[in-house]
Amino acid sequence: MIANPTTTTGVHTQGEETIELRRLYRYFGKTKAVHDISFSVAKGHVFGYIGPNGAGKTTSMRILATLDLPSFGDAFVDGFSVINDPELVRRRLGFMPDSFGTYRDVNCEEYLDFFARAYGLVGRERTERLKWVLDFTGTIGMKDKPIRGLSKGMKQRLCLGRALVHDPKVMILDEPAAGLDPRARIQLRKMIRELADRGKTILISSHILTELAEMCDSVGIIEQGQLLATGSVEDIQRQRNQTREIVIRILDRAEEAAAAIQKSRHPHHIAGPESDTGGQPADVIVDGELVRFEFEGDTRAQAELVSWLVNQGFAIAEVTAHKKSLEDVFLQVTEGLVQ
């Protein structure tokens, strides 16, 4: 296992990016668990890490958490190298793994207090920090309850509290919502968003893509150890030239409107043989008063289209745009490959 020889020890770079992976590789024999991955996450942002099982998410998260070393490349937390400055990284990072050990015969407060002491918190600082963590995670009412009596959701809250107890700048959360009921997932999502609003940078992996779409500022899609796409969901859609479905409710003359949309050369980016974008032939479907078709333009182009139809004398009662979901993007970008 070879670390990147060009990394400089003790260099703390100033900037907004508090997570950075630079050409990261991790091989296990012939298996390329992580292969040439680079991305960064700015302060106060939530980055969703998406991929099938075995894609390399946990491996790269473990490297960021200083629990493993890369074969090549480097990763940085708040400007410090995970290879050359692991102790400085650990002070700034909270890691919540997909499975974690608890001590069955201690209560919640004792469990958190143990880790607070391990991080060097003492006296009043430790007392106040424990109180804040118990209050923030909603476990203060059961601080004296043995861990063995906690539900799955409360154990996840306790694990989040353990990762927060030393007030880290960066949080790495590996499948934190796994096995939680809907209410617990909603509450966890709110806590993560609040932490980001407080300035913490969060890297989170999950198989519940709808939740990631709601809480993340940007996402990265990984498969077979390679990063296939990064950016906001909208950015990735735009990069992939994804269309969205437009549904227009037109009173009385829906068939005429559909024919006009099909034949028009107006620059509203309808995917069709007559369009300026040169897309594939569009299916303009009429369903009673509803006209449906795939649309390649942005919201301004959509407004221009509606205005054009009104000027043509069509009575528009309603317009709905159905954007592609994160699940649609994921299925388009990945191939379902495993290693």
Whichever domain contains 286, its CATH number is 3.30.70.100
Q: What pLDDT does residue 239 have?
A: 65
Over residues 282-292, mean pLDDT = 85
Please identify, among 211, 237, 263, the residue that sits at the C-terminal boundary of a domain: 237
Q: Output the pLDDT for position 273.
A: 38
Same domain, 190 and 310: no
Looking at 183, 206, 237, the residue that finishes a domain is 237
Give CA angle at 94 (42, 218), nearest 5°.
30
For residues 84 and 218, give the distance between their C-alpha atoms in angstroms, rounded to a whole number. Answer: 28
| 107 and 148 together in one domain | yes
Indicate if 110 and 126 belong to the same structural domain.
yes
Q: Which two tokens stand for residue 236?
A: 């990735």
Parent domain of 115: 17-237
Whether 243 and 294 have beta carbons less than 8 Å apart is answered as yes
Least confident interval from 60-69, 101-110, 253-262: 101-110
- Tell me the average pLDDT across 261-277: 52
Q: Which residue has the higher pLDDT, 299 or 87?
A: 87
- pLDDT of 278 above 50: no
Q: Could you read off the pLDDT of 143-156 as tens digits, one per residue?
A: 999 988 888 888 88
Inside any domain, residue 11: no
Distance CA 197, CA 217 (A): 12
Instruction: Please tell me the total count of domains within the chain.
Output: 2
**How does pLDDT run across 201-248, given as a tens digit for each residue?**
999 998 777 777 778 899 998 988 999 888 887 777 666 655 677 899
- Does residue 30 sit in the same domain as residue 55? yes
List C-alpha distances in Å: 13 to 74, 79, 117: 14, 5, 29
Q: Tokens 């990064």 map to which residue?
A: 230
204: nearest Cα among 298, 64, 321, 32: 64
> Is 97 within the bounds of a domain?
yes
- In three-state secondary structure terms, 174 is strand
Q: Is the pLDDT of residue 194 over 90?
A: yes
- On whether both 188 and 164 belong to a single domain, the answer is yes
Do 252 and 213 sit in the same domain of this protein?
no
* CATH number for the domain that contains residue 169: 3.40.50.300
- The per-residue pLDDT of the chain, averaged, comes to 83
Q: For the segment 34-65, what is each residue's pLDDT rounded down to a tens digit?
A: 999 999 999 999 999 988 888 899 999 999 99
pLDDT at 185: 85
Two tokens, residue 29 = 């024999």
Q: Is the pLDDT of residue 83 over 90?
A: yes
Highest mean pLDDT pick, 110-124, 199-213, 322-336 = 110-124
Asked whether residue 117 falls in the same domain as residue 265, the answer is no
Check residue 325 and give its pLDDT: 67
Residue 32, domain member (yes or no): yes
Asked whether residue 254 falls in the same domain as residue 221, the answer is no
Average pLDDT, stretch 265-290? 57
- Of the candidates 192, 218, 237, which is a domain's last residue? 237
Which pLDDT belongs to residue 337?
A: 61
Are residues 222 and 251 located together in one domain of the fold? no
230 and 280: one domain? no
Residue 157, phi then psi, degrees to nearest 5: -65, -40
Q: In this structure, are 147 and 208 located in the same domain?
A: yes
- Between helix 254-263 and helix 299-311 the angle, nearest 10°, is 120
